[in-house]
Structure 1
């Protein structure tokens, strides 16, 4: 029955994985100004995610798994690229980072001090920031 459950699905509900990521939706240009100001006192991150991209879906799941309890207060802004294309372009312009998807930018003192994209996002260690 295990094979049939794998193919057709099991009636047993899957256990929901709790995320330690402190997701904050990034939805406006005014909010981006707040992000810049906040970065003067603490390091933050912006995760640019494409909801239609399979790679982006896999990377965001792995990213969430990699965030430990000690990083639960680290602010990570979530930017939906498809719904906020203009904002995504402004993020790239503001922090002088060429657009890629998915992409993670680490911001400190209004500058991108680190950025990466695609599967390399899963390798970044936010605890060093």
Structure 2
């Protein structure tokens, strides 16, 4: 089960960025009026297998908090999509996906690909 931390203002985004220096962070940008976005969220929640210590999940209702969504696009230099996931590590976006490309398997593959060599 995902224990979402809500992104509701820019201080929450700063917190997510800060967390990313200790662990990987997932940002999920969700449109509450989009069926594709709802399906992506349900698929993530049904397959989630990460602890918050391994991958900390943040949830953004972009209809309510569009300013935060815009700040995400600007801060991490990604094109706005919805739904969209971003993996943040040490203040940088290392991976993003949208629509039907959002899945736990794709997230795991990206984390493995970008794993720090021992």
Same fold (TM over 0.5): yes
- Give 1:72's aligned residue: 51
Q: CA RMSD in A?
A: 1.3
Residue by residue, what CA displacement relative to the aligned partner does 1:19-77 show, whole Å, maximum 9, x if unpaired? x2121101110121111111111111100000000110111101111212xx1323110
Quote the offset at 1:124 in angstroms.
1.7
Q: Counterpart of 2:63 in 1: which secondary structure?
A: coil
Query: Which structure would you say has the larger Rg?
Result: 1
Give me the TM-score of the superposition, normalised by structure 2: 0.85
Aligned partner of 1:81 among 53, 62, 68: 62
Give me the TM-score of the superposition, normalised by structure 1: 0.78
Which residues in structure 2 correspond to 1:1-129 (within 5 Å)? Answer: 20-68=1-49, 71-73=50-52, 74-122=55-103, 123-126=105-108, 128=112
- Aligned pair count reads 108
Q: Counterpart of 1:48 in 2: which secondary structure?
A: strand
